[in-house]
Amino acid sequence: MQLIETIDWLYRGNRPSLTLITQMGDAETVLYGSDDSVESTAMVELLNELGVKFDFRAIDHDPRAMREWEQLDGDRVPMLRVGNNQIVRGFDRIKLQQLFGWVGC
């Protein structure tokens, strides 16, 4: 009975808990992008739609963000870093949905 109550608690809202699905815990999620990039804007919208909490760092305005992005072998924006293990280069809707548990579950 406890298991059913836990499942009910998880699904009371419209979406399941991404933290539990991805099992990434409190991993820092950072989106490196550019204010002028259409793909960066689309990535922000998708992450918000998926309910992902992230920190946006504009590489065209923030020298520190630019250095971090370059150290991660940044060659295009947007680039998403989840913790120290996952990096998504460019806007890849399917990969993001898979990463956050919305496809193939």
**CATH of the domain spanning 2-99, picked from 3.40.50.150, 3.30.365.10, 3.40.30.10, 1.10.3210.50:** 3.40.30.10
Domains of the chain by residue range: 2-99
Task: Mention every residue, 6+ apart, whose C-beta is less than 8 A from residue 28.
Answer: 55, 81, 82, 83
- Band of residue 98 on the pLDDT scale cut at 50, 70, 90: confident
pLDDT band at residue 104 under the 50/70/90 scheme? low
pLDDT tier for residue 100 given thresholds of 50, 70 and 90: confident
Unique residue bearing structure tokens 């990969």:
95
Q: pTM for the full model?
A: 0.71
Helix (H/G/I), strand (E/B), else coil: 3: helix
